[in-house]
Chains A and B, each alone.
Chain A
């Protein structure tokens, strides 16, 4: 009996491992290989049709991802309202109330989120809050610039000079008062900046390629860790 139970548990673990690690890996590898091969074959080949279908499915999966994210956020905050501390409860109630309000307004009108009522609500709550956050961030930026951005090393000095030149170049008043700032600012942006950014992009691309090969070959540890966590 005990042996049977152990066998059953082992089988269950095996199937868990299969659908949590192996199956996503197989799907990902096949999809990845198709997406790579399509670069090397004729645009009219069947591989290209398969690529198109894969992309549509990926987009559908991503939409479900958004839905899962939204449901997850709601569940966390419902739990917090039920069990959380007073302050957390207040914030979570506010969040859930806002979500409910937006959903009710969206479904109450025939044009859904395209209705003027929804647009009004969004513009006067969402967009207004977004602008306010940006305005507060500007003030925090000033406080940070005053208290933290102290030139105490050569690196900080270089950053300060380059940043100041680029900042003044970007303002309308900068080129008006100091016309010479334009070629200097553009040179900083187009020569040292481009060289460093291209180097960084190249390194990141090579890294991504190595990671992709490791995932395709089933050698990437993080995939196993992810499956174990799941």
Chain B
């Protein structure tokens, strides 16, 4: 009798799978992703149309053109968009474009400096004030963008280091968005693409390249390629741009881990649903057995 009871209480295979402990989902990705980072798989990197288009837009700019690099994402997005930021900045340096950096999120000012440091302006012979300028944070979201586009000097009377904007060589001929040839911007979610379309593209006709997470691409696509001409998606976009430019960096090192992470999510989806079907089958057969008894 006791043995019978224990047998009944013993969990079935499907039940065991369904009650998988949470720590399992912490350990598995940790192990798999660590292995992938230490021993990269070396998946061949193709080039998507999005990346090729972004590359062509940037390389079509004549040397000396003014580019604004606008950061709209927070520090948490660094893992996704950081490699793309660095890859694009290196490309901008190599094309001798003049770059103005600013942000509309309060927590990203330091990561902006980090992206600039990682792109090694000194190796490209870039001089602060002449080839690039860093402004800090402008509050107000869309209002901040509108204000920046309308009058850069009034929005930022001083740069991030406290120098008066009027004293910077690069800013002598740049007063508003009318003087800007290209906007490169990170996009963190809705309604960022709407802001870009309203404040940059429709108002000033500025060409736009967006650096973003794959998850954000669907909300940018309604504006692509009319208002937002280029999209650089996630670390994949960064690694593809790195291969196009030859400046191999953060994107290429993260791309394998990203692939493994994605496949893991997909596997978990599928296994979870197989377990659900298994349990449903088990319950039905159990009920049938009970009714026969």
Q: Chain A interface (Cβ within 8 Å of chain B)?
A: 51-52, 55-56, 58-59, 61-63, 65-66, 111-114, 118-119, 122-123, 126-127, 130-131, 133-134, 138-139, 141-143, 145-147, 149-152, 160, 164, 166-168, 170-176, 182, 186, 189-190, 193-194, 197-198, 201
Contact = CB atoms under 8 A, between A and B. Distances in A.
Given A65-B139, A130-B75, A134-B79, A56 B222 contact: no
Contacts of B141: 62
B43 A134 contact: no
B129 interface: no
A63 B139 contact: yes
Interface in B223-279: 233-234, 236, 239, 255-256, 258-259, 261-266, 268-269, 271-273, 276
A52 B107 contact: no
B61 interface: no
B269 A66 contact: no
Contacts of B172: none
A178 B144 CA distance: 43
Nearest to B151: A52
A171 B234 CA distance: 10
Secondary structure at the A interface, as helix, strand, loop or mixed, is helix
Contacts of A171: 236, 258-259, 262-263
Interface stretch (B22-30, B90-98, B283-291): B22-30
**Residue of B76, B109, B214, B276 contacting most chain A CB atoms (<10 Å):** B76
B140 interface: yes
A24 to B, nearest CB: 16
Given A119-B110, A130-B75, A189 B143 contact: no
A49 B26 CA distance: 57
Given A52-B151, A189-B221, A127 B269 contact: no
A28 B20 CA distance: 56
B216 to A, nearest CB: 11
A164 B266 CA distance: 7
B151 A56 contact: yes
A41 to B, nearest CB: 14
A198 B223 CA distance: 9
Interface in B143-163: 143-144, 146-147, 150-151, 154-155, 160-162
A66 to B, nearest CB: 5
Given A145-B272, A172-B236, A189 B76 contact: no
Interface string B197-221: 0000000000000000010011101
Nearest to B235: A172
Given A151-B273, A166-B218, A170-B217, 12 more contacts: A52-B151, A56-B151, A59-B138, A59-B140, A113-B109, A119-B110, A130-B75, A130-B78, A171-B236, A172-B255, A172-B259, A197-B221
B113 interface: yes
Nearest to A133: B76
A167 B138 CA distance: 34
B114 interface: yes
Nearest to A126: B75
